[in-house]
Chains A and B, each alone.
Chain A
């Protein structure tokens, strides 16, 4: 009741203020009216003189503060938090401050912006300050709330809530991975002597996360969902110098990263896990668990970039990137309960101690040359990437079959992943006319990957993968008039080799994209996308059954209408119809028979916003109304309906004060998984004050 009352007051107050302001205006308006009446006589003089220059203020600021109300959420709250996660209460929706004075001595430019503060899931703060040609400081901070707990994450078709363990709730059986975290990223960079020949710079960035989650503890014969604490951070330090000459530029940067990741589980709750049946009359359970990962890592990296234009028709660039991240890990686990080793060796306590390390030198380089001869432009680029991961783990495991009978096992495991990738591309562009450009090109991608095969692979310890791809490229760009652009691109790849069955192999890709003004106030945009991909078979024995075909299409149409130069508002709308059909046969591991994995998605998506502006003399203050929103209606394998209509009202209550209110509805439903649906109404209202 109080909430409704507060809402009504919040809505009524600005309208009253605006009305009051309007009522008080006639006295002040009279001189304006008199000036307007006298205007015809003065008009010829005004036509002769040049237009009065726009006065720019050095300092501007806008504060946008208010509150949000969220109606009772119908349906699944966890789904709402996983998808939307907007809360209610007072909010600082936005704050902008800018200072720009090119002639000032100490500070020429300054800007500060903050958005979505007050418990929103995505809050940002950005600062830039600059003294021209002396220094420039930029800082960015973001805070993100990451909640994800969707019951259908695993496989909703076999939902059997009754199978869950008492300690973890009915839905955990199918989704034993959940997160409730806050992630923060920050970045600060200081440049000295920006815009001069030599510009040194230094920066620091940090990404960190803290929170809780749900994770399975995997023991032999059973898995136990347990709650976990998560905490990780990565700090990056960097410094470098930019050298900028007339026809040459070089940037050299050296950086380092320190990294930690601590995950821990502590539980004393009895947990029956996922296995519902008994083994030899014994029911497995977890009585207590202490588990901890302590990951520490660091990396040094180097970057070098060069661009050069030695001749007016010749341009070149090159990059060299090198990083060498490494980690060292201490893992401990102490689990008590009833577990089974093999088929019948039961034990009560298992303790694990593991030390592991990984080292990952990674070198990348790219370079390109561009020639231009009249209407012809040729671009050659080469990219090469070598990646090598070497890991090792020393494991000591103690199993207590009884207080006096223990078994200790130690093992040492190594792993290696080697990837070499290369890409060469040549493109030619020919300006047939000022408004028409043809493009043709060729891309070759090649490489190899070596990795350890699965534990039960009977054919050898390593798997070898090859990448061989030849791609032909063609395109046309047509610009029929000012502001109009039509672009078509085609890529086709011949039979080659790819690393994975779902990679792009034998494919055809067509993209049509354009913008066409139909009128001075009406702009039309369109897109068409087609991807047709066919992939290798899985085995000689299953050649016919295991080939894959995937076709993806999307057609979009958009328009932007601003009649009378936007005086009365505008209309922006976009509609996309998409189709995705993937047919792949996979082999069921237990019986080695071909099964179908068919994924079909037909989607209708629309986004629109109608902005209606009433002239000031029609109604108090000259309000603006916004109507629109978006929807996604998908059918196929996972039918989904997601609606987000929006209605907004903007009402100026003073020269620099505007009251606004936004109503928004979120409606999410999936006919196959009704238990995940939610819907809610949201109202945000506040004042936007310009200083």
Chain B
């Protein structure tokens, strides 16, 4: 661990020494007269290629959208008043969201996008907490189709560009089919099928299915229940209690190669407080009865008998 830390600290020191001097925020606005709004036609005169691409971007509707009150000023809705920049033609005289501090860049985007369904949990998202700005992932000027084509593999590449650990997990043999390497016929799921990068109430930005049911049930609806006899960890800890959803070396993406060990790691509690059923450590999962002789192959795989381990409609011990 220490060698990695030392390496990173060294890199950090190098980057700090190479850092250009921070400019005061007021520089972007410039000195002298307060800049005023010109319109998008003025921007188009110099940035024709960007403007042409922007015509097919969903943001272009601001040009005609009375509701947003940016008619004829779609460019300046994000870049701010452009009169000074139009005169000086220097980049320092215009706001560039991609170069702002993430909280300031987000403020620009969220002035319109905060009130959207997908962003309802943004405040609670890991990306917002880690200062990952909207512009880190979204390209504002491109035509919408440019980002839609090959969407799954493009999204996967975008996410795994930072989430390198997740990319590594998906290279394990037992994994959800993700398009990690583009090739013919290798297009499967995308990260967005399970996660909402804008935020969600569930941990790891996991999506819910049908209001507040675990998002995994969207595809694995045969595990949905409710069961007359529930297996508690499936509801309290989620599927991740036993499975590695990004990928595992173990069959069925289990966290352990042997099912009995996976089960007994929890089912080893002896109640120490008679009458309460609670173990001294306070954890749930009572020890199985003594006839479970682990030396016998019949007891090697708990799910050989406890087959309805995700929950049973019939039997309290998940035998049917």
The stretch among B30-38, B71-79, B167-175 that forms the contact with chain A is B167-175
Contact A150 B275 (CB under 8 A): no
Given A177-B303, A558-B164: A586 in contact with B252 (beta carbons within 8 A): no
Given A56-B52, A121-B177, A500-B233: A587 in contact with B130 (beta carbons within 8 A): no
Chain B residues near A163 (CB-CB < 8 A): 297
Instruction: Check B319 for interface membership: any CB of A closer than 8 A.
Output: yes
CA distance A299 to B217 in the complex (A): 14
Contact B292 A102 (CB under 8 A): no
Instruction: Check B204 for interface membership: any CB of A closer than 8 A.
Output: no
Contact A586 B12 (CB under 8 A): no
Given A153-B252, A326-B226, A546-B268: A301 in contact with B275 (beta carbons within 8 A): no
Contact A460 B277 (CB under 8 A): yes
CB within 8 Å of B: which A97-144 residues: 98, 100, 102, 109, 111, 113, 115-116, 120-122, 124, 132-133, 144
Contact A96 B149 (CB under 8 A): yes
Contact A536 B283 (CB under 8 A): yes
Contact A357 B273 (CB under 8 A): no
Query: Which listed residue, B165, B184, B261, touches A586 by the CB 8 Å rule?
Result: B261
Chain A residues near B266 (CB-CB < 8 A): 500-502
Given A53-B52, A605-B171: A215 in contact with B270 (beta carbons within 8 A): no
Bitwise, A197-225 to B at CB < 8 A (1) or not (0) is 10000000001110000011010000100
- Of listed A120, A150, A183, A391, residue having the most chain B CB within 10 A: A391
Contact A232 B177 (CB under 8 A): no
Contact A454 B286 (CB under 8 A): yes
Contact A100 B56 (CB under 8 A): yes
Interface residues of A, dominant DSSP: strand
Contact B119 A501 (CB under 8 A): no
Contact A642 B164 (CB under 8 A): no
Chain B residues near A546 (CB-CB < 8 A): 268
Chain B residues near A274 (CB-CB < 8 A): 297-298, 304
Contact A539 B171 (CB under 8 A): no
Bitwise, A147-186 to B at CB < 8 A (1) or not (0) is 0101011111110100100000000011111000001010
Contact A427 B129 (CB under 8 A): yes
Contact A501 B283 (CB under 8 A): yes
Chain A residues near B284 (CB-CB < 8 A): 449, 451, 463, 465, 499-500
Contact B120 A305 (CB under 8 A): yes
The stretch among A6-14, A31-39, A624-632 that forms the contact with chain B is A624-632
Contact B226 A325 (CB under 8 A): yes
Contact A431 B101 (CB under 8 A): yes
The stretch among A40-48, A280-288, A549-557, A615-623 that forms the contact with chain B is A549-557
Bitwise, A466-504 to B at CB < 8 A (1) or not (0) is 100000000101111110111101000000011111110
Contact A501 B115 (CB under 8 A): no
Contact A460 B275 (CB under 8 A): yes
CA distance A349 to B233 in the complex (A): 36
Bitwise, A273-309 to B at CB < 8 A (1) or not (0) is 0110000000000000000010101010111011111
Given A558-B164, A684-B185: A176 in contact with B49 (beta carbons within 8 A): no
30 A-B residue contacts at CB 8 Å? A68-B184, A102-B55, A157-B258, A218-B320, A223-B298, A249-B120, A257-B210, A302-B211, A305-B120, A307-B119, A307-B120, A327-B226, A358-B225, A381-B123, A393-B313, A437-B101, A456-B289, A459-B274, A459-B275, A463-B278, A465-B282, A466-B282, A499-B232, A503-B237, A512-B4, A539-B280, A554-B165, A589-B288, A589-B291, A642-B172
